Amino acid sequence: QDGTKKYIDVNEYCETSRSGVFALGDVIGEVELTPTAIAAGRRLADRLYGGPEFANAKISYENVPTVVFSHPPIGCVGLTEKQAVEKYGEDNLKIYRSKFANLQYGIWDVEPEDKPKTSMKLVCAGKEEQVVGLHVIGQGSDEMLQGFAVAMKMGATKADFDSCVAIHPTAAEEFVTLFPWGMGPQVSGAKVSPLNGAAPPEPKSLG
């Protein structure tokens, strides 16, 4: 056990020091969220009972999307700006920010400065500007976060975000139109690049 917080020590496969005894969820001190525990349990069950193809199944605790269900909600995936500076160095980062009144409040008969605001931040690292942190506070933050988390798990870059056509009118479109739009390095984190109007990937194994 951890001597300070009394967490159970496990390896990357949720195995304790006792053969055949496993631990996951809040008791191991990783990302303490219900969906994280469920995902860890599923990976463990896959590895134990799923056959040879799942022999190395395990959960990844990287880029877990997290939401604070406040008013307005707050969402984040990946590193904070401070964490990114510590990991990559300030000179290797580029930060994109935006603050705006959500269009949902467009018809409100109040002064623009009094309308509820949405704030967004994209933390990018390296010359390829890989997205390593995504942060948003505002109406709908909780609902928009999951899809961006998938993109980050796949190594999306700022150019990948820019290559995606915006859904208008939404708040989420701001993440794919952050200024300066389309001006960064034209490098994709995808196995099949979507940049410059490329055709979408097709499945390779068909019946």
Active site residues: 168
Is the Cβ–Cβ distance between 83 and 141 less than 8 Å?
no
Residue 118: exposure state from Cβ atoms within 10 A (0-12, 13-18, ≥19): buried
Bridge partners of residue 93, in order along the sequence = 125
DSSP single-letter state for residue 55? T
Pairing of strands 66-68, 117-125: unpaired
- Entry field: residues in the chain: 207
* Residue among 62, 58, 51 nearest 12 (CA): 58
Measured in degrees and rounded to the nearest 5, phi and psi for residue 203 equal: -60, 140
Range list of β-strands (E), 1-116: 66-68, 74-78, 93-101
Cα angle 149, 155, 78; round to 5: 45
